[in-house]
Amino acid sequence: MRTTCFMTLVVILVVVMTASPVYGLSSFNGRLPNGSVFSCSACHSSVPDLNNFGSAFNDADRSWTFALSQLDSDGDSYLNGLELQDPNGVWSQGNPDPGNSSLVSNPGNAGSQPPVPTSTPTSPSLPTSTPTNPPIPTFTPTSPPPPTSTPTNPPPTSTPTDIPSPTASPTPGCLNDGDVDFNGTHTAGDSQLAFWIGLGAYTPTSAEFCAADCTGDGSVTAGDAQVIFSVVFGMGSCADPLFIFNDSEF
């Protein structure tokens, strides 16, 4: 009887000590923005094998960072942050998930991509009314009355000096250049971010709003997103030329 109990205990210890570690822990979902949408498949092609995004996440100490958000781990031309609705990498663990979960795509799967805007911008209608010229005044000018005395010019008491011209430095305005994520180039990610801003699914900063307003009409619509998408392929242009920031200026 004692021998049987002892052997049973040995078997249990062997099973516990040789058990494989658990991969794809659901607790890691909370370390990524909208991590629960794709759960383990965001990091694993098949458990326990890591995909490229999973390897990058592991290298970042399994934390969401700005650097990780700016990578395109699955090579589908969409940055990890854009696919997880945090294009600027500002989300931190414990905060509510950003953006719209229905627009989230898998950063570890090239076949999973954000929806591309399909609407075609329409040209504004031309005015139909014909402007009219203002009426010409009909009054007759009268001659001024003759002077009753001869004015004398007072002698100058001081020599006037030239007034210097204002030297205020110009301040940058609203740049409607289509580079919404400020990475110095036009990509499909800029078009997608402008599309989300137009839908109200992403709240932009004032600079992001200006950049997304590619047509420069003061609003961001699906039309702006379509124009930016055309610019990516060299078939269009925004209201302002692409402005490339110099890091040494900040």
Q: For 185-238, how does the pLDDT look when each residue is reduced to its tens digit (9 = 90+)?
A: 999 999 999 999 999 999 999 999 999 999 999 999 999 999 999 999 988 899
Rounded to an integer, what distance in angstroms lies between the CA atom of residue 42 and that of residue 40? 5
Question: How many other CB atoms are there within 10 angstroms of residue 141's CB atom?
Answer: 5
Mean pLDDT of 144-164: 57
- Residue 198 near residue 225, CB atoms below 8 Å: yes
Q: How confident is the model at residue 244 (pLDDT cuts 50, 70, 90)?
A: low
Q: How confident is the model at residue 56 (pLDDT cuts 50, 70, 90)?
A: very high
- Is 137 or 205 the better-scoring residue by pLDDT? 205
**98 burial type by CB count under 10 A (0-12 exposed, 13-18 middle, 19+ buried):** buried
Lowest mean pLDDT among 35-49, 52-66, 108-122: 108-122
How much is the pLDDT for 48? 86
Position 93: which residue type?
A: Q
- Residue 47 near residue 23, CB atoms below 8 Å: yes
Rounded to an integer, what distance in angstroms lies between the CA atom of residue 196 and that of residue 79? 15
